[in-house]
Amino acid sequence: MTVVPDGSAGLVAPAARTGSTPLPDGRELAWAEWGPENGIPVLFSPGAATSRSLGFGAGVVDELGVRLIALDRPGLGASTPAPGRTFDDFAADVAAFAQARGLDRPAMVGNSQGAPFALACAAHGVVGALAVVSGADEIADPRFAEPPFTGVLPADLYRLTALATRQPEAAHAEFARFTPQAMWDMVLSGSPPCDRAVYERADFAAAYRRALDEAFAQGPDGYARDTVLAMGRWDIDLAAIGVPVDFWYGDQDFGHSPDQGEGLTARVPGAVRHLLPGVGGALLWTHASSVLHVLTGRCSHYAGEQAGS
């Protein structure tokens, strides 16, 4: 398959539909949708501190017949908080959401810090196929404390990872000091020029900053809990994943995974890694067509295999 950029237009668009769905315990899981209502359902686990409103693939979802459904994780955006929640809890929430919406086992995309939450859904068999795009890696994995990574990763990253692993409450308090402005500044300061060209576009910046503000609407605890989970040991059985998984990274992206997903891909049976040249962490928006084309193909192929087994 030829991988090509989607072009400079139509990276983001307002959601076609928004709402929230009650969960069995009475909490609400908020969502936003793009694409045809009868399209192929693809759930979206957004990146750090962003809400359901920041979608991707504007125009592409209609072309491919994809019904993209972005979810606010508990405590972010309009979803009810769930203090102390775990990756397993999120997978259970998504399973209940899919059942309530009649989605069966939808495909899923996990971006940046949303990646481990999406991987938890795959490990629990909640989704039928998964694309991890510019996914945050498990920095707390012991291999990142050994060569060739020793001394390469920022010292503050090691410090925060150790804090999240050993003193999660203290880590939560530190992460809870973040604000939408701090997140925006951190993203821009750590991005290569190819990403800044995307993030600083007027239309994208407006949508991104709105999603940051929405994510913190209930306070910082939702983001803080997300980050404690993502930066600590994941407690996700990646070897148990039995659905197709594709990992997508740009070769200019060194912020999400120290080895650009090579080790993470090896931990998931049968997973495929795509490393795109000249691309950074904004890959989800610059190459949405490629990601969704492969993902929907995996989902239909897997469904066919299951029907024939």
Q: Nearest to residue 58, comparing CAs of 15, 22, 13?
A: 13
The pLDDT, as a whole number, for residue 147 is 86
What span, in angstroms and rounded, lies between the C-alpha atoms of 177 and 188? 19
Quick check: 259 and 147 in contact, CB under 8 A? no
Distance of CA 242 to the CA centre of its chain: 19
Query: Is the separation of the CB atoms in 20 and 78 below 8 Å?
Result: yes
Q: Is the pTM value of this prediction over 0.85?
A: yes
What is the helix (H) or strand (E) element at residue 22, kind and residue range? strand 17-22
Q: How many other C-beta atoms can be found within 10 angstroms of the C-beta atom of residue 28?
A: 15
Contact 305, 242 (CB under 8 A): no
- Which stretch of DSSP H or E encloses residue 284? helix 283-286
- Residue 279 burial class via C-beta count within 10 angstroms: exposed 0-12, middle 13-18, buried 19 and up: buried
Question: Per residue of the chain (309 residues), what is the pLDDT tens digit?
Answer: 445 455 444 689 999 999 999 999 999 999 999 999 999 999 999 999 999 999 999 989 999 999 999 999 999 999 999 999 999 999 999 999 999 999 999 999 999 999 999 999 999 999 999 999 999 999 999 989 888 888 778 889 989 999 999 999 999 999 999 999 999 999 999 999 999 999 999 999 999 999 999 999 999 999 999 999 999 999 999 999 999 999 999 999 999 999 999 999 999 999 999 999 999 999 999 999 999 999 999 986 544 455 444
- Separation in Å, CA 59 to CA 45, 48, 211: 19, 24, 20
Taking a C-beta distance cutoff of 8 angstroms, is the pair 52, 21 a contact? no
Calculate the CA dihedral of residues 80, 132, 166, 81 and round it to 10 degrees: 0
- Give the CA distances from residue 183 to residues 28, 70, 75, 216, in Å, rounded to whole numbers and listed in that order: 25, 20, 17, 11
